[in-house]
Amino acid sequence: MTKDLVRTNLNGRRLLGAVVPLVLAVFAAVGWKHPVFRGLAWACAILFSYDGWGRAVAYGLRASGRRAPTDLGLRLAWGMAACLFVGGVACMVHIASRPFLLGQLALGWCFSGASRMLEPARWPSRRRLTAFVGAPTLILVLVLAGTWVVVEMLHGVSLAWTNMSDDEPLYFFLPQKIVATGTMYDPFDVRRMTSYGGQFFLHAQYLSVGVHRQLNVVDAGIGTFLVMAHVVSEASALRKRRSAVLTGVLAVLLVISIDQVRYNIGSLMTSFAAVLGAHRTWVWIRTSEHRTPLDFGLLALCGVAAFVLRTSCAVPLTLFLALSVGAEALGPLRGISRSRGLLLVTRWGLLGGTFLAALLPWLILFRESTGTLIYPLARGNLTPGFAILKVESGIDYNLTHVLTDVAYPKPFATSIVLLLAALVPATWSRRRATPGTLAADAPLVAGVVIVGLCFTSIMGGAFGDSANARYYFAFLMWGLLVAVWGSSSEPGERGLPGPRLLVATIAIILHVSAVRVVLRDHLIAVVNQVDKAVGESRATAQANRQLDDAYRAAQQSIPAGAGVAATVQDPFRFDLARNSILSLDLLGGMGPAPGFPCFKGPDVLAEYLIANGLEYLVTIDMTLTYKNMELFDLPAWRRHNKLQHSFLNYEAPFVVDGMESIQVLLKTRRVVFKNDLLTVIDLRTLAAEPAVVAPTVPSGTL
C-alpha cells in the first residue's frame, strides 16, 4: 500500500509545491481588484519565479556532476542573479520591455513547476517530523522570520511615502522606461553614475504588473524575504549543534532589529541578500573537492548581482572572494609550491574572467548613458568640475569623518563590537570552526568589512553619516550576520556559551533595547498604513489618474516621436513609448559629447539640446519652493551654495546655472502648452505664437 502511494508522486514536498501556488492563485483572484492584495500577490509571484530560476540553475549544476544539496536561500539567490544577468543582456539589446519581463517571470514559474515534478517521490519520514517537532528553536526562528516577512511585505505595499527628489524622478522613471522601451538609456541623468541598474531592473519586473506607489515592496518586502531565507536555511543546517541553538534566534533578531537607514527606494535589503548569496554560494562550492568553470561562473553571477544592486559592495566582496579563493588554493603557508601558485593564478583567472563576462552587459549599458565603464576611475560625460564622489583634503578631516561614520548608530548600534569580536583569534576554546564554513570566514569577513567601511567613508567625504550608512549598509549587515554565525563555532565549557557567543548575545540585546521604541512605532505605523491603504485606495487611484491626465495632456501637445527634455517631478507619468523622453536630472551635471554647456547661456543650451535630438522641453516653474522636493527648487539650490564639505555645495553652481537658463528659455521660446503644473516649449521656435492653455489641475492633486 505504501509503495503504491509513493508511486502516485503525492509526497509531502510535491503536495506543498502544488498547494502554495494554488493558495497564491486563490488569494490573487479574490483580492486582485484591490491594490494592496494585488501587490502582495505579485511580490509572492516574483519570489516564486526566482525560486524557479534557482532550481533551473541547480538542475544544470547537477547535470554537470554536482550533487551537493541546495536550500531555499541559495535557490532564491541564484534565481535573482540569473534574472539580473538575463535582464542585463535584454536591456543591452533594448528588448527588456513588459512582454519580455512577463515572459522571464513566467519562465521561472515553469522551471519551478517542472523541477517539482521531477523530484523523487517520498513521504516525509517519521524521523524527520519528530526531529523538526523536537527542535523548538528552529520553529521559533521560522515563526519570527515568517512574521517579520509578512510585516515588511505589508509595509512595502501600503507605504505611501516617497523621497520626492529621488524616487519619482529616478527610481520610478528608469524602471518605467525599461517597461516601456526595453532599456534605461538616459544620458543626462547624473545619478545614473551611482548605479549600474540592477535595482532599476528589479523595479521594472514589479512594474510589469504592479504600480509605482508600491515599489517599496521590492526592497522592503522581497528583499527581507531573501535575507530571511538565508537565515532560516543556515539555522536549519546548524540546528544539531548545541552552540547554534541560540545563534539562529540571534540572527533573526539581528535582521528584525535593523534600524533602517532608508532614504529612498534604492537597494538595501536586496543588495544585503545578494552579498549573502554570493558568500553562501562560495561556501557551497567548497563542499566539493573538484572545481569546474561552472562553479566560478555561478559565483561570478552572484557577485555581479550584488555589484549591480549596490556598487559600494564591490570593494569588500571582491576583496573577500579574492583572498578566500586564494587562501584555499595556496593551502597552509608552509606548503606553498609552484603547483599551488599555478592553481591560485588559474582560479583567480577563472573567477575574474567569469565575473567580467557576467558584468559586461551592465558595463555596456552603463557606458551607453554615462560615457564610461567604471566611475570614478573615469569620469565619462560628467561636466568638468561637477562632483558626485569627492575625497576631501586633510588627514584630520578624513579621520574624523571615518570615526563619525563608524560610530553612527544606524543600522546597528553595536556593530563595531560584533566586528571586533569576530576579528579576535579563536584561541579561547579547544574547538575551532570547521574550515570552509561561514563561521570559519568570520574573521576575514570582519576584516574586509572594516576596510570597506573606511573606503566608503573616505570616498564619500562630502556625504554625511546618514547618507554613507546607505552605501555600506549591505556589506556591514553581511559582516554582522557572519559574525553572529561565527560565534556558534566556539562552545564554552560544560555546554555554556563561548566568549564570542556571549559577546554577540549581549551586543544584540543592547541594540534591541536601544531600538525597541523604533520597532514599536514601526509596527504601529504598518498597521495604520495598511488600514489607510485599504480604506483610501479609490481616492489614491483617482488622484494618480488626475496627475497622469495632466502629464499626458502636456505630452499630447508634442508630436509623436519627437525628442523631449524633461525637468519635472514625475517623468514616469509620460507615455515613454510615444516619445523619446530624457530627464535633465541635476541640471548641468552630465551630457553627451561635447558636454553639457554650463555657464554659456540659455541659447547655447537650447542649441545643444536640439543637436541631441531634443526639440521640446517640459518643465515646471523652478522659482517656486516645493515642499519635500528640492530637485528643481531654484531657491533651495541657491542656498546650497553656502554649504561646506557637502556634495550639494559642489553641485549647486552647475544646477543653478541650468535652472536659470531654463527660466530664460520659458520667456524666449514658444510655449505650446501650459497648465498649473507643466509648461511645454518648442526649443526651435522663438516666442511669438500664444500658448495652448489647458484647464487647471484639480486642487489637492499636486
584 vs 125 pLDDT, higher one:
584
Residue with cell 517521490: 121
Q: Rounded to an integer, what distance in angstroms lies between the CA atom of residue 528 and that of residue 534?
A: 10
The helix or strand, by DSSP H or E, that contains position 55, with its residue range, turns out to be helix 35-63
How deeply is 690 buried, as exposed, middle or buried, from its count of CB atoms within 10 A (0-12, 13-18, 19+)? exposed
What long-range pairs does 541-546 form, CB within 8 A, spacing at least 24? Answer: 541/35, 543/700, 543/701, 544/213, 546/697, 546/698, 546/701
The helix or strand, by DSSP H or E, that contains position 295, with its residue range, turns out to be helix 293-309
21 vs 408 pLDDT, higher one:
408
Q: Rounded to an integer, what distance in angstroms lies between the CA atom of residue 411 and that of residue 479?
A: 12
Q: Rounded to an integer, what distance in angstroms lies between the CA atom of residue 252 and that of residue 241?
A: 17
pLDDT 10s digits, 217-257: 999 999 999 999 999 988 887 665 555 667 888 999 999 99
How many helices (H) and strands (E) are present in the chain, helices listed first?
A: 26, 5
> Quick check: 15 pLDDT over 80?
no
Prediction pTM value: 0.90
Contact 382, 589 (CB under 8 A): yes
Strands 669-674 and 679-686: antiparallel
Any residues with CB less than 8 A from the CB of 197 and at least 6 apart, and which?
A: 88, 91, 174, 184, 308, 362, 365, 366
- pLDDT value for 165: 83
- pLDDT value for 33: 65
- pLDDT value for 173: 95
Any residues with CB less than 8 A from the CB of 29 and at least 6 apart, and which?
A: none
How far lies 332's CA from each of 289, 348, 493, 668, in Å? 16, 18, 29, 74
State the chain's mean pLDDT as an integer: 84
Contact 606, 681 (CB under 8 A): no
> Quick check: 11 pLDDT over 50?
no
* Cell numbers for 673: 502648452
Looking at residue 264, its amino acid is N
> Quick check: 124 pLDDT over 80?
no
Residue with cell 509526497: 11
Most confident region among 65-74, 451-460, 493-502 by mean pLDDT: 451-460
- pLDDT value for 3: 40
Looking at residue 451, its amino acid is V
Identify the CA nearest to 358 among candidates 296, 412, 406. Answer: 296
Q: Where are the domains of the chain?
A: 2-156+163-514, 552-686
The total of other beta-carbon atoms located within 10 Å of residue 243's CB is: 22
Identify the CA nearest to 170 among candidates 130, 132, 215. Answer: 215
Strand order in the sheet with 679-686: 580-583, 563-567, 616-619, 679-686, 669-674
Identify the CA nearest to 461 among candidates 398, 405, 410, 379. Answer: 398
In this structure, the chain runs to a length of 702
- Strand, coil or helix: 274: helix
Packing angle of the helix pair 98-118, 35-63 (nearest 10 deg): 60
Q: Rounded to an integer, what distance in angstroms lies between the CA atom of residue 175 and that of residue 181?
A: 10
Q: What are phi and psi of 394, to 5 degrees?
A: 100, 120
Confidence of residue 130 (pLDDT cuts 50, 70, 90): low
pLDDT 10s digits, 334-389: 556 677 778 778 888 888 898 999 999 999 999 999 999 998 888 899 999 888 88
Identify the CA nearest to 438 among candidates 228, 302, 244, 222. Answer: 244
Q: Rounded to an integer, what distance in angstroms lies between the CA atom of residue 326 and that of residue 36?
A: 48
Any residues with CB less than 8 A from the CB of 345 and at least 6 apart, and which?
A: none
CATH hierarchy code of domain 552-686: 3.40.50
Tell whether omega for the bond before 411 is within 30 degrees of 0, i.e. cis: yes
How far lies 81's CA from each of 348, 421, 458, in Å? 21, 32, 30
Q: Rounded to an integer, what distance in angstroms lies between the CA atom of residue 681 and that of residue 676?
A: 15
Looking at residue 358, its amino acid is A
Contact 53, 111 (CB under 8 A): yes
Confidence of residue 294 (pLDDT cuts 50, 70, 90): confident
Residue with cell 578624513: 398
pLDDT 10s digits, 162-192: 788 888 899 999 999 999 999 999 999 998 8
- pLDDT value for 687: 84
Confidence of residue 543 (pLDDT cuts 50, 70, 90): confident
447 vs 624 pLDDT, higher one:
447
Q: Please, what is the Cα angle at 471 between 466 and 473, to 5 degrees? A: 85
Segment 202-230 mean pLDDT: 94
The total of other beta-carbon atoms located within 10 Å of residue 136's CB is: 9
Q: Please, what is the Cα angle at 222 between 319 and 90, to 5 degrees? A: 70
pLDDT 10s digits, 28-55: 565 566 778 888 989 999 999 999 999 9
Confidence of residue 333 (pLDDT cuts 50, 70, 90): low
Q: Rounded to an integer, what distance in angstroms lies between the CA atom of residue 259 and that of residue 228?
A: 16
Q: Rounded to an integer, what distance in angstroms lies between the CA atom of residue 279 and that of residue 299?
A: 9
42 vs 113 pLDDT, higher one:
42
> Quick check: 702 pLDDT over 50?
no
> Quick check: 461 pLDDT over 80?
yes
Contact 307, 452 (CB under 8 A): no
The total of other beta-carbon atoms located within 10 Å of residue 140's CB is: 14
Strands 580-583 and 563-567: parallel
- pLDDT value for 16: 47
- pLDDT value for 240: 57
> Quick check: 470 pLDDT over 80?
yes
